[in-house]
RNA sequence: GCCGGGGUGUCGGAACCGGCAGACGAGGCGGACUUAAAAUCCGCUGGGCGCAAGCCCGUGUGGGUUCGAGGCCCACCCCCGGCACCA
């Protein structure tokens, strides 16, 4: 067996990885004279090891970056680390080390794995959000928002994770549990720092329409999350008091049917209203019971609605009636005003509650089949209809009444039109150590004082104690005690750090000038590189990171610091890597380690399999057989190139010698530039002299593969079909070698075919492509395969020769014809009708119609 | 309940704008090479009927539009994901 027969991926990976680094092959600088392409993957948390999801993410990204580079774009393709966060702190507690030690060791290990994968990052631009050089600017960002009035310290019901011993943003609660550790969260009334993302709710919603390159489902999820709803705030005077109870409703047209009101148990007036009434004890007991529940238990308890009468009454401003005020578990404090008008006839929840507690039901909108008598109503009616029991609006269509009543109520001062959002302000303070300290100082004399920009960064101290449950920064006297930047007197530092999602909401700007010590990013560079052209990451950030980043970008845009109101032009949410139908996880024991796979099959086969096995957006089932297939293909390409290398090099030598001879004869024996084309100068063109059908057919296959691969990647990011096209090309070249006598094979044609093949393989299997390119002698003469232009296809080659035309009779295939591509429609129709097979089918029948589709088919309709 | 995505061979998946259903890969079967095995190279591989040429059926179900439907329209079933007493 020849030495060359198997591609030695271990040796090739080692060699090229080093050479590429030495040559700075992937270094990039802003260059306004060239079109840019910013390709970005969501930077990872440095957990210590890559998992298959990472490998998939970066294989897609690297192929995208490499493809665009070859297409002539100046490509920014950087990598960094989301290196703040709780796991490092937990590891510190467990191992009695510093979070930084654990974090930076993990980064080193993961960087090594990424480099092994052959990812073409410009490593000079690497960032980690836990470096003071980075978090200084995260603190700057906080101050910018502060300056713009977008930071607020307020007391509010917030989510508390008892396990992580910190508060969480709304977006970080999944199904009532902490997104990181799965512990059910509790509601607590705490004073915390918020970013006013709700001030941008409308723009975050409206600008979703600008994002044509985003998957529909991500936009829908954001729309749902923002949850805009138009309605009215209505004021209900409280009987016997000088106060009003304000509710939010989208159905002010049903106000005449409001027969009671409901307050959230944690509404500030709930206990207040009950005080001194016979209901006081019952209300107190109820409120205490409900508010003690975890968020999840409370949500579940709501399936059975429960409530108590507060003992107080309000006046329905439309009817003037006294209606009872209740409190119930189905009304939430953190939506609207925490109070509702209950209209049991026209709201399912109110209906269920009213029936359960025997409260009156009054129909005010009559749809088809809806009884006028509320007692006979079987279920709430939420549709439109004719107004009844509604004073001056009786008889009106409810949609008309909806408009009139809004105007009338505003004029009468009963209420006003308003818009409500589900979106809450972004709670950014965390009672944790391993994050960017919030740059705030508390002074007894001056109150809350932001740390001036010149004093940044507020550094994390080293003398803290890591204990389960405690907020570590409070244990560092040196950190807490400070002087007031405003009056110079003694003051205390804020001991909370920022949510790590603040770090990741702006990191893509930092890559453009990662070492800048004077500003978060260089304006000129940001205006050149941004927005990100292609962003790639998991769907789990559909709301979290992607919403926060859009918000922060809009703030920076308003400040004039960045060129666009949206950060990410196109978004690809890649599917999960699963095994045996389930997400890989330790508990299921179905984890496949990238390390082992890289060792056994190499980077090229791993990348190829992952790109080939499924379209990027869909989940990918890991398959042992599948990666073996990819590995087979890698070796198959290698054998093909190795088998052709001899004749190709020999023929090239003759050509070079001949060219040199001709030049020497013309110019004398002067020093010659190498016979090679300059790097990146283009393609090898075969001489078509004396070509037979085999040669023409192969050449057509080459161009067909280029056309398919190019559109699959550029227009659809369908890497699986692009790879399939390359496999077909390889099969075609093997077929040529198999069918044509070795002596008759055309080395220049084979060289031209391999030239295209290797360049197209370069984004997928970078090591193999470079090794094979080098074996053919082209690296010496033309430079790295990764610096070549992407191949072009010639439509003339594709259109030359014959095509197979399908002939149908009444839509069923009855014959196939080989015809010239340029054949006229009239002639094609004649050939089809003359076909003996077709004749058998149309004999004795009348041809009603003949449909011809050029290049594809003829359909003869007979009766 | 609402919203989004999907249902195609034994499996992963192709079929781009309504034009040959099943590309490519995996698995299976067969052949060549080999003392043999592996590796490699070549071929076959949706179902049914037929000696064969070939014919019929076939993209979750039922209907429709069309010369022609996996892709469009209507009704429904199932799977995955998101949101959910949001007033």
Q: Is the CB of A588 under 7 A from strand B?
A: no
Q: Is the CB of A327 under 7 A from strand B?
A: no
B56 C1' – A830 CA distance, angstroms? 29
B2 C1' – A836 CA distance, angstroms? 59
pTM: 0.92
Q: Is the CB of A852 under 7 A from strand B?
A: no
Any alpha helices (H) in A382-449, and if so which ranges? Answer: 398-412
B71 C1' – A142 CA distance, angstroms? 50
Residue A504 has what pLDDT? 95
Q: Is the CB of A657 under 7 A from strand B?
A: no
Q: Is the CB of A170 under 7 A from strand B?
A: no
Residue with minimal CA–C1' distance to B67 is: A861
Does residue A658 surpass a pLDDT of 80?
A: no
Nucleotide nearest to A631 (CA to C1'): B25
For A709, residues 6+ apart whose C-beta sits below 8 A from its C-beta are A722, A725, A726, A760
B82 C1' – A173 CA distance, angstroms? 14
Residue A599 has what pLDDT? 94
Q: Which two tokens stand for residue A485?
A: 């930047």
Q: Is the CB of A217 under 7 A from strand B?
A: yes
Q: Is the CB of A728 under 7 A from strand B?
A: yes
Residue A654 has what pLDDT? 67
User: HSE (CB half, 13 Å, CA atoms) of A786?
Assistant: 27
Residue with minimal CA–C1' distance to B68 is: A811
Q: Is the CB of A738 under 7 A from strand B?
A: yes
Contact yes or no for A406/A252 (Cβ under 8 A): yes
Buried b (16+ CB within 10 A) or exposed e, A454-474: eebbbebbeebebeeeebbbb
Contact yes or no for A136/A457 (Cβ under 8 A): yes
| Average pLDDT value for residue range A304-308 | 89
Q: Which two tokens stand for residue A325?
A: 């005020």
Banded pLDDT at A668 (limits 50, 70, 90):
very low
Q: Which two tokens stand for residue A351?
A: 């209906």
B41 C1' – A630 CA distance, angstroms? 18
Q: Is the CB of A326 under 7 A from strand B?
A: no
For A640, residues 6+ apart whose C-beta sits below 8 A from its C-beta are A730, A733, A734, A737, A754
Which 3-state string (H, E, C) describes A338-378? Answer: CEEEECHHHCHHHHHHHHHHCCCCCCCEECCCCCCCHHHCC
Nucleotides of B under 7 A from a protein CB: 3-5, 11-16, 19-21, 23-27, 39-43, 55-56, 67-69, 81-83, 85-87
B70 C1' – A808 CA distance, angstroms? 19
Q: Is the CB of A353 under 7 A from strand B?
A: no
For A387, residues 6+ apart whose C-beta sits below 8 A from its C-beta are A253, A364, A365, A366, A393, A394, A395, A396, A397, A398, A401
Q: Which of residues 270-289 of A touch strand B (CB under 7 A)?
A: none
Q: Is the CB of A800 under 7 A from strand B?
A: no
Nucleotide nearest to A301 (CA to C1'): B85
Banded pLDDT at A166 (limits 50, 70, 90):
confident
Does residue A789 surpass a pLDDT of 60?
A: yes
For A450, residues 6+ apart whose C-beta sits below 8 A from its C-beta are A143, A146, A439, A440, A441, A485
Q: Which two tokens stand for residue A417?
A: 């039109």
Q: Which of A94-98, A582-586, A699-703 is the least confident region?
A: A582-586
Q: Which two tokens stand for residue A618?
A: 């869909």
DSSP state of A592: -
Banded pLDDT at A666 (limits 50, 70, 90):
very low
Whole-angstrom distance, CA of residue A370 vs CA of residue A380: 9
Tokens 């009348």: give the residue.
A846
Nucleotide nearest to A303 (CA to C1'): B85
Question: Left (φ > 0), alpha (ψ -120 to 50) or beta: where does A324 sit?
Answer: beta
Q: Which of residues 237-276 of A touch strand B (CB under 7 A)?
A: 248-251, 264
Nucleotide nearest to A731 (CA to C1'): B24
B23 C1' – A727 CA distance, angstroms? 11
- Give the number of other Cβ atoms within 10 Å of residue A332's Cβ: 17
Residue A9 has what pLDDT? 95
Banded pLDDT at A633 (limits 50, 70, 90):
very high
Q: Is the CB of A384 under 7 A from strand B?
A: no
For A324, residues 6+ apart whose C-beta sits below 8 A from its C-beta are A260, A261, A309, A310, A312, A313, A359
Of A125, A51, A143, A115, nearest to A81 by C-alpha is: A125
Report strand pairing: A186-195 vs A177-178. Answer: unpaired
Buried b (16+ CB within 10 A) or exposed e, A285-300: ebbeebbebbbeebee
Residue A468 has what pLDDT? 67
Q: Which of residues 300-319 of A touch strand B (CB under 7 A)?
A: 302-305
Residue A568 CA: distances (Å) to CA of A63, A210, A536, A554, A576: 19, 11, 10, 12, 21
| Average pLDDT value for residue range A64-70 | 97
A246 phi/psi in degrees, rounded to 5 = -100, 130
Residue A678 has what pLDDT? 41
Q: Is the CB of A718 under 7 A from strand B?
A: yes
Residue A291 has what pLDDT? 84
Q: Is the CB of A863 under 7 A from strand B?
A: no
B7 C1' – A618 CA distance, angstroms? 14
Does residue A721 surpass a pLDDT of 70?
A: yes
Dump the DSSP string for A676-687.
Answer: SPPTT-------
Task: Tell me whether the omega of the peptide bond preceding residue A432 falls within 30 degrees of 0, making it cis.
Answer: no
B42 C1' – A727 CA distance, angstroms? 17
Tokens 């978090």: give the residue.
A135
Q: Is the CB of A229 under 7 A from strand B?
A: yes
Whole-angstrom distance, CA of residue A377 vs CA of residue A398: 19
Nucleotide nearest to A332 (CA to C1'): B86
Q: Is the CB of A355 under 7 A from strand B?
A: no
Nucleotide nearest to A305 (CA to C1'): B85
Contact yes or no for A233/A248 (Cβ under 8 A): yes
Q: Is the CB of A578 under 7 A from strand B?
A: no
Nucleotide nearest to A615 (CA to C1'): B13
- In tens, the pLDDT along A684-708 reads 889 888 898 899 999 999 999 999 9
Banded pLDDT at A656 (limits 50, 70, 90):
low
- In tens, the pLDDT along A398-431 reads 999 999 999 999 999 999 999 999 898 999 999 9
- In tens, the pLDDT along A184-226 reads 888 888 899 999 999 999 999 999 988 888 988 888 889 888 9
Nucleotide nearest to A813 (CA to C1'): B20
B60 C1' – A619 CA distance, angstroms? 21
ipTM: 0.94
B77 C1' – A398 CA distance, angstroms? 37
Nucleotide nearest to A422 (CA to C1'): B86
Banded pLDDT at A659 (limits 50, 70, 90):
low
Of A318, A308, A311, nearest to A288 by C-alpha is: A308
Any alpha helices (H) in A498-593, and if so which ranges? Answer: 500-503, 507-510, 523-529, 544-558
Contact yes or no for A31/A74 (Cβ under 8 A): yes
Q: Is the CB of A613 under 7 A from strand B?
A: yes
| Average pLDDT value for residue range A170-175 | 85
B8 C1' – A717 CA distance, angstroms? 22
Q: Is the CB of A179 under 7 A from strand B?
A: no
Whole-angstrom distance, CA of residue A787 vs CA of residue A23: 12
Q: Is the CB of A859 under 7 A from strand B?
A: yes
Residue with minimal CA–C1' distance to B23 is: A724
B74 C1' – A368 CA distance, angstroms? 25
Tokens 């923002």: give the residue.
A226
Q: Which residues pair with A366 in a beta bridge?
A: A386
B70 C1' – A608 CA distance, angstroms? 28
Give me chain A's average pLDDT, please: 90
Q: Is the CB of A734 under 7 A from strand B?
A: yes
Nucleotide nearest to A858 (CA to C1'): B19
């Amino acid at each position: 067996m020849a030495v060359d027969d198997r591609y030695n991926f271990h040796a090739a990976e080692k060699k090229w990885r080093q050479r590429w680094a030495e040559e700075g092959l992937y270094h990039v600088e802003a260059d306004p004279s060239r079109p840019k392409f910013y390709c970005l993957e969501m930077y990872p948390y440095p957990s210590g090891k890559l998992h298959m999801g990472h490998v998939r993410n970066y294989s897609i990204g690297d192929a995208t970056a490499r493809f665009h580079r070859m297409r002539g774009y100046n490509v920014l393709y950087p990598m960094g680390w989301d290196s703040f966060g709780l796991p490092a702190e937990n590891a510190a507690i467990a191992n009695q080390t510093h979070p930084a030690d654990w974090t930076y060791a993990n980064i080193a290990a993961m960087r090594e794995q990424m480099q092994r994968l052959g990812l073409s990052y410009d490593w000079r631009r690497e960032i980690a959000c836990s470096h003071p050089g980075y978090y200084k600017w995260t603190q700057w960002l906080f101050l910018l928002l502060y300056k713009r009035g977008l930071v607020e310290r307020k007391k509010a019901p917030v989510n508390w994770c008892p396990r992580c011993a910190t508060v969480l943003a709304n977006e970080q609660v999944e199904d009532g549990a902490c997104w990181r550790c799965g512990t059910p969260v509790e509601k607590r009334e705490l004073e915390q720092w918020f970013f006013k993302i709700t001030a941008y709710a409308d723009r975050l919603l409206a600008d979703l329409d600008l994002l044509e390159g985003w998957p529909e489902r991500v936009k829908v999820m954001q729309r749902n999350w923002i949850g805009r709803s138009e309605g009215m705030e209505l004021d209900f005077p409280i009987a016997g008091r000088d106060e009003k109870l304000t509710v939010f409703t989208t159905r002010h047209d049903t106000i005449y049917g409001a027969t009671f009101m409901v307050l959230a148990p944690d509404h500030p007036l709930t206990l207040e209203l009950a005080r001194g009434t016979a209901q006081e004890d019952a209300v107190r007991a109820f409120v205490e019971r409900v508010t003690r529940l975890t968020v999840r238990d409370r949500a579940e308890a709501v399936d059975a609605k429960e409530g108590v009468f507060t003992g107080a009454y309000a006046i329905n401003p439309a009817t003037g009636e006294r209606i009872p005020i209740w409190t119930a578990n189905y009304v939430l404090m953190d939506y609207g005003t925490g109070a509702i008008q209950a209209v049991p006839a026209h709201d399912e929840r109110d209906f269920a509650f009213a029936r359960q507690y025997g409260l009156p039901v009054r129909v005010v909108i009559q749809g088809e089949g809806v009884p006028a008598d509320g007692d006979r109503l079987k279920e709430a009616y939420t549709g439109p209809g004719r107004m009844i029991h509604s004073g001056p609006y009786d008889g009106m269509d409810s949609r008309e009444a909806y408009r009139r009543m809004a105007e009338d109520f505003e004029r009468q001062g009963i209420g006003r039109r308003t818009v409500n959002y589900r979106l809450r302000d972004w709670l950014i303070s965390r009672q944790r150590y391993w994050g960017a300290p919030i740059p705030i100082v508390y002074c007894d004399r001056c109150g809350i004082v932001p740390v001036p920009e010149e004093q940044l960064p507020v550094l994390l101290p080293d003398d803290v104690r890591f204990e389960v449950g405690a907020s570590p920064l409070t244990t560092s006297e040196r950190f807490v005690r400070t002087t007031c930047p405003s009056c110079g007197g003694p003051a205390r530092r804020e001991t909370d750090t920022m949510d790590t999602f603040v770090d990741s909401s702006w990191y893509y700007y930092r890559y453009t000038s990662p070492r800048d010590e004077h500003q978060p990013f260089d304006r000129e560079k940001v205006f050149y590189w941004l927005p990100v052209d292609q962003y790639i990451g998991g769907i789990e950030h559909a709301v979290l990171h992607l919403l926060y980043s859009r918000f922060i970008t809009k703030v920076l845009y308003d400040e004039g610091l960045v060129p666009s109101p949206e950060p990410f032009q196109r978004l690809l949410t890649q599917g999960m890597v699963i095994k045996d139908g389930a997400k890989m996880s330790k508990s299921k024991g179905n984890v496949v380690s990238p390390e082992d796979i890289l060792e056994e099959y190499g980077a090229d086969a791993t990348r190829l399999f992952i790109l080939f096995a499924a379209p990027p957006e869909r989940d990918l089932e890991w398959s042992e057989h599948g990666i073996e297939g990819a590995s087979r293909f890698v070796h198959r390409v290698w054998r093909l190139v190795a088998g052709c290398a001899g004749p190709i090099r020999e023929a090239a030598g003759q050509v070079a010698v001949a060219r040199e001879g001709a030049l020497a004869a013309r110019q004398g024996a002067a020093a010659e530039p190498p016979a090679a084309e300059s790097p990146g100068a283009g393609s090898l063109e075969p001489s078509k002299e004396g070509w037979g059908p085999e040669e023409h057919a192969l050449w057509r296959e080459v161009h067909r593969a280029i056309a398919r691969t190019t559109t699959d990647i550029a227009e659809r990011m369908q890497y699986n079909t692009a790879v399939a096209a390359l496999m077909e090309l390889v099969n075609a070249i093997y077929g040529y070698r198999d069918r044509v006598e070795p002596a008759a094979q055309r080395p220049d044609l084979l060289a031209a075919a391999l030239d295209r093949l290797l360049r197209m393989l370069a984004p997928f299997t970078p090591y193999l492509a470079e090794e094979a390119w080098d074996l053919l002698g082209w690296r010496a003469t033309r430079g790295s395969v990764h610096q070549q232009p992407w191949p072009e296809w010639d439509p003339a080659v594709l259109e030359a020769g014959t095509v197979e035309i399908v002939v149908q009779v009444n839509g069923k295939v009855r014959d196939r014809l080989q015809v010239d591509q340029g054949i006229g429609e009239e002639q094609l129709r004649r050939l089809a009708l003359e076909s003996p097979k077709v004749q058998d089918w149309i004999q004795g029948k009348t041809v009603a119609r003949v449909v011809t589709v050029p290049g594809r088919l003829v359909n003869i309709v007979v009766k």
